[in-house]
Amino acid sequence: MQRPFEGIRVLDATHVLAGPFATYQLAVLGADVIKIEHPEEVDQARFMGADPDLNENWMGTNFLTQNTNKRSITLNLKSEQGREIFKRLAADADVLVENYRAGSLKTLGLGYDNIKALNPKIIYCSMTGYGQQGPRAHHTVYDHQIQANSGIMSSTGTPESGPIKTGTVFMDYGTGTTAAFALSAALYQRAQTGEGQYIDVSMLDVAIVMQAASITGHSVSGKVPGLGGNKHKYASSELYQTKEGQLMMGAANPGQHRRFMAALGLDHFAHQSYAQRDAQRAEETAAIAEKLMEKTAVEWETYLQERHVPAAILRPMNEMLEDPQLKTRGILHQHESVENVDGPVTVPVSAFTFAEGGPQVDQPPHPLGADTEAVLSELGYGESEIAAFRKEGAV
């Protein structure tokens, strides 16, 4: 079955993580994504990641993880000829995604209004830290600055540790996912109306939405989330040490709580109201902690899940990657061969599957500028013109 975005051309003028991840999601769903990089000031993700040798080769793992299914060209937008080529690409594109500092492309004559004049049906998406307007629109930030600035870090950690950022760049991937959703919505809207669209995606906005319950709670009560660590409001929903390993519990609602207490033989806690559970939290916590020390985390997870009680072992990523459940999902793809990379490379594809025509990997990430000549030829440029562009530093 045809994938959703086959026949859609996307210009990817993004770098690092959030922007490239947004276009990657369109790419695995069939879009023809053309990644545009400066010939010298390349996407910094190319030299970021777990393997120093790959970083040296400009094929860092941070780049590899979200540039599958894309073509790579170099284009110097600071040159007049580079801008002209960009406009010719945009005139025939369906989507343009950029994450330069707010207003940067507009200054170069490549803003939404400029491109819309060439292509009224273009869907133009700008991704920044704080959006296109406001007192902080010009600020440059990354994932961890948004975590710090948005309130997320102030509720992550313990009173002893102080605020702590998350161990992964979840704001980048959350913003990339949000942008991919917005682009999908805009493409559907265009199919109904025939009109293009401008999309303004802000990492701060995504951070606020990802704290939705806390935001609403604060608006009603004035309470600000604190540093609760691994504790939940109720004793039956937090991290516990077992005989071997740790177990994260999630027996929150009354039915789960009753089953959990019955499974532990703590029936005197089983039929408490929410208010009673709150009032006797310390006693319940102590009783659960003592009981869970009788078995290992593995044993408890099996025992409790058989009784429909939410429980999960705390484990590192490498163990999760060997989990048989993950192997049934098909969300990881192993590239057996990637140019300029020794050995296979495994990348996540997408966090969902379709029965037919869903996310799919077609080709590995490409070295810098590997498709420049092919793409420029598609625009009608001849070999001599392309050679002149190279000599002038336009590509």
What amino acid is encoded at 12 in this protein?
D
Q: Quick one: which H or E segment has residue 178?
A: helix 170-193
Is the pLDDT at 331 greater than 90, yes or no? yes
Per-residue model confidence (pLDDT) at position 128: 98
As a whole number, mean pLDDT of residues 238-254 equals 97
Query: What's the CA gap between 69 and 9, in Å, rounded?
Result: 12
Mean pLDDT, rounded, for 317-346: 95
Distance CA 160, CA 144 (A): 20
Task: Report the alpha-carbon distance of residue 40 to residue 19 in Å, rounded.
Answer: 19
**Residues whose CB is less than 8 angstroms from the CB of residue 282 and which lie 6 or more positions away in sequence, other chains included:** none
What are the CA-CA distances from residue 280 to residues 127, 274, 283, 309 (Å)? 47, 10, 6, 21
Domain 9-210+329-392: CATH superfamily, name plus number: Crotonobetainyl-coa:carnitine coa-transferase; domain 1 (3.40.50.10540)
Q: Is the pLDDT of residue 232 over 90?
A: no
Strand order in the sheet with 95-98: 70-74, 32-37, 9-13, 95-98, 123-128, 197-202
As a whole number of angstroms, the distance between CA 210 and CA 204 comes to 10
Residue 206 φ/ψ, nearest 5 degrees: -65, -40
Q: What share of the chain is helix, strand, coil (3-state, %, to 5)?
A: 40, 15, 45
Under a CB-based contact definition with an 8 Å cutoff, are residues 19 and 176 in contact?
yes
Per-residue pLDDT at 295: 98
pLDDT of residue 347: 97
> Which tokens is 323 given?
């989990």
The partner residues of 348 in beta bridges, in order of sequence, read 332
- Mapping DSSP to helix (H, G, I), strand (E, B) and coil, where does residue 152 land? coil
Question: pLDDT-derived band of residue 233, with 50, 70 and 90 as boundaries?
Answer: confident
Mean pLDDT of the chain: 97
Of residues 358, 363, 384, 360, the one with CA closest to residue 373: 384
**Tens-digit pLDDT profile for residues 48-65:** 999 999 999 999 999 999
Active-site residue set: 172
Q: Residue 317 is which amino acid?
A: M
Structure tokens at 387: 């050679």
pLDDT for res 119: 98
**Token pair in block for residue 350:** 């997408």
Tokens of 64: 């590899």
Residue spans in the chain of domains classed CATH 3.40.50.10540: 9-210+329-392
340: tokens are: 């300029």
Q: In this predicted model, what pLDDT tens digit does every residue of 110-167 receive, in sequence order?
A: 999 999 999 999 999 999 999 999 999 999 999 999 999 999 999 999 999 999 999 9
Closest CA to 330 of 348, 356, 316, 317: 348
* 249-285 residue pLDDT tens: 999 999 999 999 999 999 999 988 999 999 999 999 9
Confidence of residue 30 (pLDDT cuts 50, 70, 90): very high
Contact yes or no for 4/358 (Cβ under 8 A):
no
The burial class, CB within 10 Å (0-12 / 13-18 / 19+), for 8 is buried
User: Which tokens hold the place of 112?
Assistant: 């939404």
Give the residue range(s) of CATH 3.30.1540.10 domains in the chain: 239-318
Give me the mean pLDDT over the 284-309 stretch: 98
Q: How far apart are the first and last CA of the chain?
A: 37
This prediction's pTM: 0.95
**The pLDDT of residue 377:** 98
Indicate the SS3 state at residue 33: strand
CA distance 264 to 234: 16
C-alpha to C-alpha distance for 50 and 60, rounded to whole angstroms: 7
Choose which CATH entry (3.90.1150.10, 3.30.1540.10, 3.40.220.10, 3.40.50.720) describes domain 239-318. Answer: 3.30.1540.10
The stretch 297-326 carries a mean pLDDT of 97
